[in-house]
Amino acid sequence: MQVELRGITKCFGSLRANDSISLAVSPASVMGILGENGAGKSTLMKILSGFYSPDSGDIVLDGKKITISSPADAIRQGIGMLHQDPLDFPPLRVIDDFILGRKGGILPGRKKAAREFRELATRFDFALDTEAYVDTLTVGERQQLEILRLLWLGARVLILDEPTTGISLPQKEKLFATLRKLAAEGMTVLFVSHKLEDVEALCDAACVLRQGKLVGTMKPPFQARALVEMMFGKEVELAPRTHIEPGKNILCAKGVCLDGIRIQIKGVDLEVRSGEVIGLAGMEGSGQALFLGACAGLSQPTDGCFCLDDGASGPDGRNMTGRTHHDFKRNGVAYLPAARLEEGLVPGLSLTEHFVLSEGPRGLGARKGPFIDKKKADALARERITTYNIKGRPDSTVESLSGGNQQRALLALMRTPLNLVLVEHPTRGLDIESTIYIWSKLKERCSQGTAIVFISSDLDEILQYSDRVLVFYSGRVTPPLEAESLSVERLGRLIGGKGWDELAPEAAHA
């Protein structure tokens, strides 16, 4: 089936997630859709599969203009999407999950469906037991189930969103073989990924999105360098950086292994020194959030340990194995999550109430005791609001603030002194003014001897503010790299899984 998108535009509030994107995919081919996080890949695919409706623009199938009202409608018209997290029902049996999306019929007709399921499975050499429960399957098997289901429902266009995250290598090879076979049979496949090697291995063509716009398409042979440049833009001129001489070790990660839901990290060694800024780069879900959370005591390493300098336990610091986030907090660690309203702030509570919660009676300068000194609390809130330039009143609830002001509020909630600040996406979704402001406040902490570890998907931000950089790719972690020796292009290649072989000899001092 010939798929054509004409001038698709979709806005969320003031954000243009898709900006008049036009794209044609010919039948019997695999088209790779590349782009960094937030480039608009998922939005575009969700429009094609009926999750969103576009603000403007047309979807054309085989030369006929169509409208898609829902995902169910999309599959009726032959468009099926395999989501990054498979949309299945873990408590159900495979066969029940398989027949769920079918239209019509009062009786399930399991027997006939099971026969057809087995025929399909044999065709693609999938070993799936119809009676097994979905939650006993691996992510790869769940994808297989989902692919069979979509085929059975009559999909002639198959969209796969980051399908190679979290599946094993043999499963990936089988998936690619299946997709090639399907394409050879006439299927149109759209393959969303940020992994260059996957696109090289599989796709007949690739297009790149950046900041909601289609910036280019390419046919094989693919040039990784050109693709990276399209994904991340041209190398920008860096502003002069303020360098702070690093001091003593604040945090040591010794052979840390972590087990996430979809990702495993093995043996990370890192020493964070006071006054230093460490950037964690990588595509979302490559393990950096898992690592940062573990630095805050939010999850426990399966092997190795974190040691924190507490000024008393000698040069190696205190082993924090088995300690909770609150123990880390008591040792001067602050954690600023990216999901501000979900994990950092309490919607429904005012700014003043937040300051009272984080500071307690001592921070307020009030007498000890169970009662809150409302006058002192109000005074503190006013002071912080002025210092951090928050556009809000002491009694403003946090959800009424803009994103930038919520981020400022999170910064304002940090206590003094701190040894280590861990920040997820410090400036995501913020305008330039807020970005500069947030970093000036973070750098101010550095000059007081606080170390900062942050995650960002903005390569410029990583290179601009970090002293050293760790790159994450599918759970693999580079040794710390000196930021000054990195270019946007090289960082982009590392994030996309390229150039890892030549790393070892030039690793910076860890």
Q: Which residues bind other proteins (CB under 8 A)?
A: 325-326, 329, 335, 337, 341-349, 353-354, 356-358, 360-361, 370-372, 413
The least distance separating other proteins from the CB of residue 407, rounded to whole angstroms, comes to 14
CA-CA-CA-CA torsion for 194, 200, 206, 208, nearest 10 degrees? 30
- Beta strand 333-336 pairing with 420-424: parallel
Helices (H), 100-240: 110-124, 139-152, 169-184, 196-202, 224-232
Residue 330 Cβ, how far from other proteins at the closest point, in Å?
9
Nearer to other proteins, 199 or 290 (CB): 290
What tokens does 62 get? Answer: 């085989």
Nearer to other proteins (CB atom), residue 131 or residue 342:
342
Would you call 212 helix, strand, or coil by DSSP? coil
The pairs formed by 222-230 with CB atoms below 8 angstroms and a separation of 24 or more are 222/196, 224/196, 224/200, 224/493, 224/496, 224/498, 225/489, 225/493, 227/34, 227/196, 227/199, 227/496, 228/196, 228/489, 228/492, 228/493, 228/496, 228/498, 229/489, 229/492, 230/34
Q: How far is the CB of 413 from other proteins (least distance, A)?
A: 7
Give, as one character, the DSSP assignment of residue 204. S
Nearer to other proteins, 161 or 359 (CB): 359
Q: Closest approach of Cβ 335 to other proteins, in Å? A: 6
Shortest spacing between CB 414 and other proteins, in angstroms: 11
Residue 335: helix, strand or coil by DSSP? strand
Smallest gap, in angstroms, from Cβ of residue 355 to other proteins?
A: 10
Closer to other proteins by Cβ: residue 105 or 348 = 348
Residue 232 vs 355, nearer CB to other proteins? 355
Complex with other proteins: residue 357 or 503, whichever CB lies closer: 357
Question: Do residues 81 and 147 lie in contact, with contact meaning Cβ atoms separated by under 8 Å?
Answer: no
Structure tokens, 411: 């910064």
Whole-Å CA distances, 467 to 37, 241, 290, 398, 464: 23, 9, 21, 33, 9
In the complex, the smallest distance separating the C-beta of residue 197 from other proteins, rounded to whole angstroms, is: 36
For other proteins, the closer of residues 358 and 485 by Cβ is: 358
Whole-number Å distance between alpha carbons of 446 and 246? 9
Nearer to other proteins, 164 or 419 (CB): 419
Q: In whole angstroms, give the CA distance from residue 250 to residue 126.
A: 50
Q: How far is the CB of 361 from other proteins (least distance, A)?
A: 7
C-beta of 348: minimal distance to other proteins in Å?
4
CA angle 485, 491, 492 (to 5 degrees): 155
Separation between Cα atoms, residue 364 and residue 369, nearest integer Å: 12
Whether the CA torsion 77, 205, 15, 425 is positive or negative: it is positive
The smaller minimum CB distance to other proteins, of residues 212 and 293, is found at: 293
Smallest gap from residue 392 Cβ to other proteins (A): 17
Q: CA 132, CA 211: separation in Å to the nearest integer?
A: 42
Q: What backbone phi and psi angles, to 5 degrees, belong to 219?
A: -105, 160
Q: Are 421 and 336 in contact (CB under 8 A)?
A: yes
CB of residue 154 vs other proteins: minimum separation in angstroms? Answer: 36
Provide, rounded to whole angstroms, the least separation between the CB of residue 302 and other proteins: 22
Residue 411 CB, shortest distance to other proteins, in Å, is 14
Give CA–CA dist 182/498, Å, rounded.
28
Which has the closest alpha carbon to 25: 157, 113, 174? Answer: 157
Question: Smaller CB distance to other proteins: residue 318 or 325?
Answer: 325
Measured from the CB atom, is 205 or 372 closer to other proteins? 372
Nearer to other proteins, 322 or 370 (CB): 370
* Cα–Cα separations (whole angstroms), residue 102 to 73, 91, 352, 353: 12, 19, 53, 51
Query: Nearer Cβ to other proteins, position 15 or 346?
Result: 346
- The residue among 183, 251, 151, 174 whose CA lies nearest residue 1 is 183
Residue 228 Ramachandran class (φ > 0 left, ψ -120 to 50 alpha, else beta): alpha
